[in-house]
Chain A
Amino acid sequence: MLMISPRMASGMQEKQYTPSLLSFFVYNPSFGSREGEEEKKILFYHPSEVEKNEKIRNVGLCEAIVQFTRTFCPTKPAKSLHTQKNRQFFFEAEDSFWIVMVVRNPMVEKPNKDGRPPTIEYQEEEILDTVYGAVLRECYSMYKLFNGTFGRAMEAGGVELLMQKLDKFFYRYLQTLHLQSCDLLDVFGGIAFFPLDKMTYLKIQSFVNRVEESLSLIKYTAFLYNDQLIWSGLEQDDMRILYKYLTTSLFPRHSEPELAGRDSPLRPEVAGNLLHYGRFLTGPANLKDPEAKFRFPRIFVNTEDSYEELHLIVYKAMSAAVCFMISASVELTREFCEQLDGLVGPQLTLLASDICEQYNVNRRISGPDKEPQFKFIYFNHMNLAEKSTIHMRKTASVSLTSVHPDLMKILGDINCDFARVDEDEEIIVKAMTDYWVVGKKSDQRELYVILNQKNANLIEVNEEVKRLCATQFNNIFFLD
């Protein structure tokens, strides 16, 4: 992607290229160990147009690097390979199944006088291993969420089935990868929790319990409001990836019809249902439609132990969205969907307006304009809670940050430092552009603050961060 650099030389325009995906492939070295059968190792290769021998060469190179580095540390083979033009990330997703992602380094194209071809400068140090390593792992998690593990696919239908699945999934998924806007938040892969008072939370609990009781097919339920999580019956890791899917893919796709006018063709048929605002985000768009299909996406959870395949029903009323998960062995019928709609719709509508009211009350109390002048990212490894005042909105297409990418890079660097040691630390960095960047790590929590205070000294910055902790995080134990 092209981005005009802020550093524009007069007269001569520099062109800045952000990191982009060069190739992405999945292979298993044990599938073509004999000479001449190397192609069998490759299960998926993007871009597919690449000539066969080049695919084999690239895969072979990765295999060799991993194999070679294994001799130094058998348990931790190489995770990435830095070259001038690109960076390769290796991930052994399952036993002997490797996924490799090759990212082209960001670069600056400087035009030359006299019609000579422009000079290209690769900024090979600009991208972070942790960020793209996390992106790669997330690719696999997302695949696994909708397809189950590679191993299970092999058991069910051999290499053919696995290749089919990989092809079907990644063909579309890779198009939605936006490598230029990946940052620290991708490393965390956190979940934003909706702040809520105890009573409203208990009402939601009660709602979930009642629905699960009367529709006993439902195995798990997750409750979100405003794209933020309130309750998850799924385990943490499964919820993390489901949350990612919901907030970056499913919800954004459905928000546009909602914003559209009443008579817009984009708006789904409400079918004269005046009793409630509930509707299915997955499955049938309109229950009244006699042609409606009652097919829901399937997801795979608890793949480590019980390995469950579930229907994913996402149902939404106003800003409240509920995911109901039902064993895939059950066939979902029109009757069930109508029953669910009739039961959940009115209750959820009521609950959504309750939450909204409560939320507005709280906002009025705390003062709407008291948005902190601090820009910070908070993450707790224990519950994956994440909070950022840096990111405006994270959607499928683009993540808008309010700070310069250079600062985001510093945050990433501090995070790498934290990852190296186990102990609580604090790092304060003075950035080039009058900014102070502070990273704090206390037990399992990390806090990154960006302060824009000219002429502030270290002591003042330290005081400022203390103040932030006292106001924003007074109810948690944060060592200073």
Chain B
Amino acid sequence: MSEEHYLELCENPVQFENASSVNNVFFDEANKQVFAVRSGGATGVVVKGPDDKNSVAFRMDDKGEVKCIKFSIGNKILAVQRTPKSVDFISFIPDYPHLECSQECKMKNASILGFCWTNWNEIVFVTDQGIEFYQVLPDKRSLKLLKSQSVNVNWYMYCPETAVILLSTTAQGNVLQPFAFKSGTMSKMPKFEIELPVVPKPAKPNLTERDIAVHVVPREGSYKKTNVLKLNTTGKFALNVVDNLVVVHHQSSQTSIIFDIKLREPDCALNVHQPVLPGRSIHPYRIPLTGLAAVPTQPPVPCELCILYETFSPACLTCAVCSPFASGYLWYLQVKLPPTVNLLQDKGKLMDFLLRRRDCKMVILSVCAQMLNGGDKGGLPVVATVFDKLNQVYKEYLEAEQTYTVATESGPSRGSAARERPVRTQAVIDQSDMYTHVLSSFSEKKDTSHKFIIAVLMEYIRSLNQVQITVQHYLYELVIKMLVQHNLFYMLHQFLQYHVLSDSKPLACLLLSLESTYPPAHQLSLDMLKRLSTANDEIVEVLLSRQQVLGALRFIRSVGGHGNISARKFLDAARQTADQMLFYTIFRFFEQRNMRLRGNPSFIPGEHCEEHVVYFKQVFGEQALMKQVTV
């Protein structure tokens, strides 16, 4: 089933001329560049990187067979090794002449195993007798030795991301000596020994661990102190690191398995990792025939997987190099997430796995939707676990954002470097994502019981509350909609009673609208408005609409807002009740207020109370109007 292949090769591989008697092909791991050197460079050197920016073509003199060729970072200086003792340098700095120089290794009788660029102008020679760290001075056409260290070296590994070289020393080669490089300095890190065939490993940057694994895997599994990858098979292996996953390719079975070293097995001191997923081969790749030879009707040639597996460059970290045909290809290996969904049954583990992947958002959301809609639902406990995991990541992002905002608002504080705005990765699934892609359509499912829908919504709200995330109004609205649709008003009442649905003006208004079907909603709404303490005007409106004119007046007086309320509004409401005594009381109240405010009981024109004054006179007589006290 093709849907089971969770690894695939990228769509646009780098194509290069195949290695032949006249053409040498080199791969530079650090810059991910492929060098095709024709006739020792005399007829051209073509450099191709994963994107066009890194592609260069040039010629150089044929000074013998090229053993190794690498650009420094940023394609500034080209280093070419042709003899076991020396390396040649050609400057590629723009607007500079192509100056050349050569450097021999310092140690006598040593032969160069290889070299690595650690900077645009800093290079390390690794010889069988030690390492030499140079700075290239292109304008002076010379190199300056910065540091050297003598030690017997069997083989070495270089990790460009961390600029760490790992040397295999001693006769058995099981003592590993790392060196770290940083702008002109070289530091020796503690060495460590690998027990054979069991290989422990102290806590170290993960990237180098993987490097080791490349060399030690042809045994029964590789063992490390921090992380042990259980391969459960023997044979030849190749390793890639893709999207923070260790991909181990097993040659004889032609399958690849992936490990997520952050995925922890519970109750296990030593992290023994089982493969996350069952082993699967890489998705078959079809090479399109291009150029003149391509016949439109001819299907693309399927690339034989066995060839792929056999040609994996062991030194290749993120790419696979393969040359089955006339031309070579350089692919990026990619992890396809959708097929993993069906291979990993444990939804909690699946979420842990997905949340650490790069393009995970839509996959996660589809897993959620599927979990809620699908027949094989693991039930609410699983739903709860998944929500909790998502919201944990969501919460961490919100917190980082919060600290960033606080930090920037308080200005650059002493000493602390300017903080970087937290990156919102795809793993941050917020409430609106969840609402739009999962919950709103789920809540409209006709074939799902409303009990389950409500339980799921409440579970999501619980999960958000658990990590103290403020729940958005639209989620409450969804819950209320469900409850109202199924006449579960008493349930709604209880939720509100325990403030599970947090107070807000929109929610209070929603409740008011329910009053006709569920009368207690009126009280719930008023209580909510009261608690908000910013909704006094709304409370007055509600009371007036229920003709509770006195109540409204007493309320606004109790909160001290009766000085500047609209007299007309109250008089209108009092008139509507057709209760003349009530009208009299209200009228008198405002006369007294006017008196207190302006020393005059009459209404000012701006209050538009003329018709009420007329009515008052008509009913109670002119003499009933309050007299202005004349001093």
By a beta-carbon cutoff of 8 Å, the part of chain A in contact with chain B is: 193, 196, 198-199, 201-203, 205-206, 209-210, 212-214, 230-233, 235-236, 380, 382-383, 385, 424, 443-445, 475-477, 479-480
Whether B500 and A480, one on each chain, are in contact in the complex, defined by CB atoms closer than 8 angstroms, is no
Pick the residue among A231, A385, A477 that contacts B530 (CB under 8 A): A477
Whether A236 and B455, one on each chain, are in contact in the complex, defined by CB atoms closer than 8 angstroms, is no
Instruction: Give A229's nearest chain B residue, CB to CB.
Output: B494
14 further A-B contacts with Cβ under 8 Å, apart from A206-B458, A209-B459, are A193-B497, A198-B499, A202-B461, A202-B462, A202-B500, A212-B451, A213-B379, A213-B452, A382-B493, A382-B523, A383-B497, A444-B520, A477-B526, A477-B530
Total interface residues in chain B, CB < 8 Å:
36
Pick the residue among B458, B465, B490, B493 that contacts A209 (CB under 8 A): B458
Whether B462 and A206, one on each chain, are in contact in the complex, defined by CB atoms closer than 8 angstroms, is yes
Let me know if B173 is at the binding interface, CB within 8 A.
no
Residues in A neighbouring B529, C-beta threshold 8 A? 477
With contacts A206-B462, A231-B494 known, is A444 near B380, CB below 8 A?
no
Residues in A neighbouring B530, C-beta threshold 8 A? 475-477
Whether A383 and B520, one on each chain, are in contact in the complex, defined by CB atoms closer than 8 angstroms, is yes
Whether B498 and A210, one on each chain, are in contact in the complex, defined by CB atoms closer than 8 angstroms, is no
A89 → B minimal CB distance (Å): 29
Whether A479 and B380, one on each chain, are in contact in the complex, defined by CB atoms closer than 8 angstroms, is no
With contacts A210-B380, A213-B379, A232-B490 known, is A205 near B500, CB below 8 A?
yes
B399 → A minimal CB distance (Å): 18
Beta-carbon contacts under 8 Å, B491-549 to A: 491, 493-494, 497-500, 520, 522-524, 526-527, 529-531, 539, 548
Let me know if B554 is at the binding interface, CB within 8 A.
yes
Let me know if B297 is at the binding interface, CB within 8 A.
no
Let me know if B187 is at the binding interface, CB within 8 A.
no
B552 → A minimal CB distance (Å): 9
Closest 7 CB pairs of A and B: A209-B455, A202-B462, A477-B526, A382-B520, A477-B530, A201-B498, A476-B527
A114 → B minimal CB distance (Å): 63
With contacts A196-B498, A382-B520 known, is A203 near B462, CB below 8 A?
yes
CA distance A236 to B492 in the complex (A): 12
Let me know if B551 is at the binding interface, CB within 8 A.
yes
CA distance A480 to B451 in the complex (A): 41
Pick the residue among A196, A231, A475 that contacts B531 (CB under 8 A): A475
- Most chain A CB within a 10 A radius of its CB, from B465, B523, B548: B523
Give per-residue flags for B456-476: 1 if the beta carbon is below 8 A from chain A beta carbons, else 0. Answer: 001101100110000000000
Residues in A neighbouring B459, C-beta threshold 8 A? 206, 209
B515 → A minimal CB distance (Å): 12
Residues in B neighbouring A480, C-beta threshold 8 A? 554, 558
Residues in A neighbouring B381, C-beta threshold 8 A? 210
CA distance A443 to B526 in the complex (A): 10
Residues in B neighbouring A380, C-beta threshold 8 A? 523
CA distance A203 to B498 in the complex (A): 12
Whether A479 and B458, one on each chain, are in contact in the complex, defined by CB atoms closer than 8 angstroms, is no
CA distance A198 to B469 in the complex (A): 13
A1 → B minimal CB distance (Å): 38
Whether A198 and B498, one on each chain, are in contact in the complex, defined by CB atoms closer than 8 angstroms, is yes
CA distance A240 to B432 in the complex (A): 39
Let me know if B245 is at the binding interface, CB within 8 A.
no
Whether B526 and A202, one on each chain, are in contact in the complex, defined by CB atoms closer than 8 angstroms, is no
CA distance A475 to B533 in the complex (A): 10
CA distance A357 to B554 in the complex (A): 41
A203 → B minimal CB distance (Å): 7
Pick the residue among A201, A206, A236, A476 that contacts B384 (CB under 8 A): A206
Whether A210 and B458, one on each chain, are in contact in the complex, defined by CB atoms closer than 8 angstroms, is no
A387 → B minimal CB distance (Å): 13
CA distance A480 to B491 in the complex (A): 30
A381 → B minimal CB distance (Å): 9
* Sample (6) of A-B pairs whose CB atoms are under 8 Å apart: A198-B500, A201-B500, A210-B381, A385-B497, A443-B523, A479-B554
A229 → B minimal CB distance (Å): 9
Residues in A neighbouring B494, C-beta threshold 8 A? 231-232, 383
Residues in B neighbouring A477, C-beta threshold 8 A? 523, 526-527, 529-530, 539
CA distance A475 to B528 in the complex (A): 8
Instruction: Give A203's nearest chain B residue, CB to CB.
Output: B462
Let me know if B555 is at the binding interface, CB within 8 A.
yes
CA distance A383 to B489 in the complex (A): 11
Whether B465 and A199, one on each chain, are in contact in the complex, defined by CB atoms closer than 8 angstroms, is yes
CA distance A470 to B611 in the complex (A): 39
Give per-residue flags for B573-600: 1 if the beta carbon is below 8 A from chain A beta carbons, else 0. Answer: 0000000000000000000000000000
Pick the residue among B458, B497, B548, B554 that contacts A202 (CB under 8 A): B458
Residues in A neighbouring B524, C-beta threshold 8 A? 382
Residues in B neighbouring A214, C-beta threshold 8 A? 379
Residues in B neighbouring A205, C-beta threshold 8 A? 458, 462, 500
Whether B500 and A444, one on each chain, are in contact in the complex, defined by CB atoms closer than 8 angstroms, is no
B140 → A minimal CB distance (Å): 70
Beta-carbon contacts under 8 Å, B413-454 to A: 451-452
CA distance A201 to B458 in the complex (A): 11
Instruction: Give B464's nearest chain A residue, CB to CB.
Output: A202
CA distance A385 to B493 in the complex (A): 12
CA distance A233 to B466 in the complex (A): 23
Whether A210 and B379, one on each chain, are in contact in the complex, defined by CB atoms closer than 8 angstroms, is yes
A219 → B minimal CB distance (Å): 10
CA distance A230 to B497 in the complex (A): 10
Residues in B neighbouring A202, C-beta threshold 8 A? 458, 461-462, 465-466, 500
Residues in B neighbouring A385, C-beta threshold 8 A? 497
Whether A424 and B551, one on each chain, are in contact in the complex, defined by CB atoms closer than 8 angstroms, is yes
A213 → B minimal CB distance (Å): 5
A468 → B minimal CB distance (Å): 15
Instruction: Give A236's nearest chain B residue, CB to CB.
Output: B490
Instruction: Give B533's nearest chain A residue, CB to CB.
Output: A474
Instruction: Give A424's nearest chain B residue, CB to CB.
Output: B551
Residues in B neighbouring A201, C-beta threshold 8 A? 498, 500
- Most chain B CB within a 10 A radius of its CB, from A424, A476, A477: A477
Residues in A neighbouring B455, C-beta threshold 8 A? 209-210, 212-213
Whether B493 and A383, one on each chain, are in contact in the complex, defined by CB atoms closer than 8 angstroms, is yes
Instruction: Give A231's nearest chain B residue, CB to CB.
Output: B494
B448 → A minimal CB distance (Å): 12
Residues in A neighbouring B451, C-beta threshold 8 A? 209, 212
Instruction: Give A204's nearest chain B residue, CB to CB.
Output: B498
CA distance A210 to B522 in the complex (A): 32
Residues in A neighbouring B493, C-beta threshold 8 A? 382-383
Whether B523 and A213, one on each chain, are in contact in the complex, defined by CB atoms closer than 8 angstroms, is no
A351 → B minimal CB distance (Å): 13
Whether B490 and A235, one on each chain, are in contact in the complex, defined by CB atoms closer than 8 angstroms, is yes
CA distance A56 to B381 in the complex (A): 63
Residues in A neighbouring B558, C-beta threshold 8 A? 480
- Most chain A CB within a 10 A radius of its CB, from B379, B380, B459, B499: B380
CA distance A109 to B202 in the complex (A): 95
B509 → A minimal CB distance (Å): 15
A469 → B minimal CB distance (Å): 10
Residues in A neighbouring B548, C-beta threshold 8 A? 424
With contacts A209-B458, A213-B379, A477-B539 known, is A198 near B531, CB below 8 A?
no
Instruction: Give A444's nearest chain B residue, CB to CB.
Output: B523
B293 → A minimal CB distance (Å): 62
- Most chain B CB within a 10 A radius of its CB, from A202, A231, A236: A202
Residues in A neighbouring B531, C-beta threshold 8 A? 475
With contacts A206-B459, A382-B520, A424-B551 known, is A198 near B490, CB below 8 A?
no
Residues in A neighbouring B458, C-beta threshold 8 A? 202, 205-206, 209
Residues in A neighbouring B523, C-beta threshold 8 A? 380, 382, 443-445, 477
Instruction: Give B531's nearest chain A residue, CB to CB.
Output: A475
Whether A199 and B466, one on each chain, are in contact in the complex, defined by CB atoms closer than 8 angstroms, is yes
CA distance A424 to B550 in the complex (A): 10
Whether A209 and B500, one on each chain, are in contact in the complex, defined by CB atoms closer than 8 angstroms, is no
CA distance A241 to B380 in the complex (A): 31
Residues in A neighbouring B498, C-beta threshold 8 A? 196, 198, 201, 230
Instruction: Give B555's nearest chain A residue, CB to CB.
Output: A479
CA distance A210 to B377 in the complex (A): 13
